[in-house]
Amino acid sequence: MFSKACEYGIRASIFIAEQSLLDRKVSLKDVAEAIESPSAYTSKILQRLSKSNIINSDKGPTGGFSMDKSELEKVKLSSIVYAIDGDTVYNGCGLGLKRCNADKPCPVHNQFKVIRDELKKMLETTTVKTLAMDFEKGLTFLKR
Amino acid sequence: MFSKACEYGIRASIFIAEQSLLDRKVSLKDVAEAIESPSAYTSKILQRLSKSNIINSDKGPTGGFSMDKSELEKVKLSSIVYAIDGDTVYNGCGLGLKRCNADKPCPVHNQFKVIRDELKKMLETTTVKTLAMDFEKGLTFLKR
DNA sequence: TTTATATTGGATATTATTGTCCACTATTTA
DNA sequence: TAAATAGTGGACAATAATATCCAATATAAA
Ligand code: FES
Ligand code: FES
């Protein structure tokens, strides 16, 4: 569904968001431990998220990663997925033809469209804030 | 969503099914050309489908690949996906945790479950025969 | 202004996936 | 039974994705 990089990206964002709700900055190490991911690889992903203005990053001592509490509910899953995996989820064809194209549809186009529209809707209506709040409450897990 | 191998596998199955409806066996070359795939790689995939009893293969001159017309409507997309990609579509976690597990859910588990159930339903109710018939009518395309 | 800390960015390594090559086997037909 | 044909299987190659290493940069605090 998503690339591994994207999965890490979403998990990292949720963790950073949750900690930001508690007014805490987190270090790369914190993130990697919280989501159980290889830290150097995670670093690259956080850079992408930072450049896409999804998270903030500050260098130096007292530095770390954070998200603006006020903007938290504006960050949708779709932004994160787009920042890391691009638009393949939105425009890719289920059977691997160049692009999904309703004018020259692949055999599963109609069936696939239903799923993808559902997925789009989910990505565009789910905010990182709500996911972070559930995580904060201990209802969900970022590692196992 | 699916691996490239799986995409080729589905496309190949639809082509073989369509030709079988017309009582024609097809060669590896035929398949590769019809679905625009690398033929040696496609060969491996057809072997997997053959071993999973989804398609028939016959050696020697007059050999080739085919599907039993009578069993065609029993072949669901889910069988093909399972034969090639295994059960990751069914049991994988949307955020990459070891396995999807409702008892210790990842943050998107509930949202993801909706999508996956829809996908499952689609894979389990779509038969290769109907896809092949639409393709036969020129309504859909296996390459572009 | 020195030191310590934390992210950044580039190079490189590893692994999985995708793709190729070729000799071998089975089978049909002449 | 010889020759031609078509799939099989194993080894190998190329590419993409994932992961690591380390020197450089920025910044805060002493
Ligand atoms: S053309 Fe394949 S999914 Fe739309
Ligand atoms: S636990 Fe992640 S999708 Fe179910």
Report the alpha-carbon distance of residue A127 to residue A119 in Å, rounded.
14
Tell me the pLDDT tens digit for each residue of B51-83: 999 999 999 999 999 999 999 999 999 999 999
In this prediction, residue B90 carries a pLDDT of 95
Report the alpha-carbon distance of residue B85 to residue A4 in Å, rounded.
17
| pLDDT mean across residues, chain A | 98
Nucleotide closest to residue A25 (CA–C1'):
C6
Contact A107 B2 (CB under 8 A): no
Position A42 confidence tier, pLDDT thresholds 50, 70, 90: very high
Q: Which two tokens stand for residue B4?
A: 């490239």
Contact B11 A92 (CB under 8 A): no
In this prediction, residue A142 carries a pLDDT of 98
In this prediction, residue B99 carries a pLDDT of 96
In this prediction, residue B73 carries a pLDDT of 93
In this prediction, residue A33 carries a pLDDT of 98
For C10, nearest residue by CA–C1' is: A44
Say which CATH topology domain B4-136 has: Arc Repressor Mutant, subunit A (1.10.10)
Q: Which two tokens stand for residue A75?
A: 């960050």
Residues 6+ apart with CB under 8 A from B108: A10, A77, A126, A131, B94, B95
Tell me how far apart the 2 most distant CA atoms of chain A are, in Å: 56
**CB B109 less than 6 A from any atom of ligand 2:** yes
List CB contacts (< 8 A) between A135 and chain B: 107
* Cβ-based burial of B51 (10 A; exposed 0-12, middle 13-18, buried ≥19): exposed
Q: Look up residue A73 and give its DSSP letter.
A: G
List CB contacts (< 8 A) between B37 and chain A: none
Rounded to 5 degrees, what are φ and ψ at B98?
Answer: -40, -50
| pLDDT mean across residues, chain B | 98
Give the residue ranges of chain B where pLDDT is below 50: none
**First-residue to last-residue Cα distance in chain A:** 20
Position A103 confidence tier, pLDDT thresholds 50, 70, 90: very high
Contact B10 A101 (CB under 8 A): no
Contact A107 B4 (CB under 8 A): no
Cα B99 to averaged position of ligand 2 atoms, centre (Å): 7
The kind and range of the H/E element at A64 are strand A64-66
List CB contacts (< 8 A) between A134 and chain B: 107
Nucleotide closest to residue B2 (CA–C1'):
C17
Report the alpha-carbon distance of residue B81 to residue B7 in Å, rounded.
9
In this prediction, residue B25 carries a pLDDT of 97
For B62-75, the DSSP string reads T-EEE--GGGGGG-
In this prediction, residue B6 carries a pLDDT of 98
Q: Which of A112, A125, A101 is nearest to B110 (CA)?
A: A125
Report the alpha-carbon distance of residue A129 to residue A65 in Å, rounded.
16
For A74-132, the DSSP string reads G-BHHHHHHHHHTTHHHH--TT--SS--TTS--TTHHHHHHHHHHHHHHHHH-BHHHHH
For C9, nearest residue by CA–C1' is: A44
Q: What average pLDDT does the segment A109-130 reach?
A: 98
B window 58-87, beta carbon within 8 A of A: 77
Nucleotide closest to residue A64 (CA–C1'):
C6
What is the domain partition of chain B in residue ranges? 4-136
Q: What average pLDDT does the segment A14-39 reach?
A: 98
Cα B119 to averaged position of ligand 2 atoms, centre (Å): 15
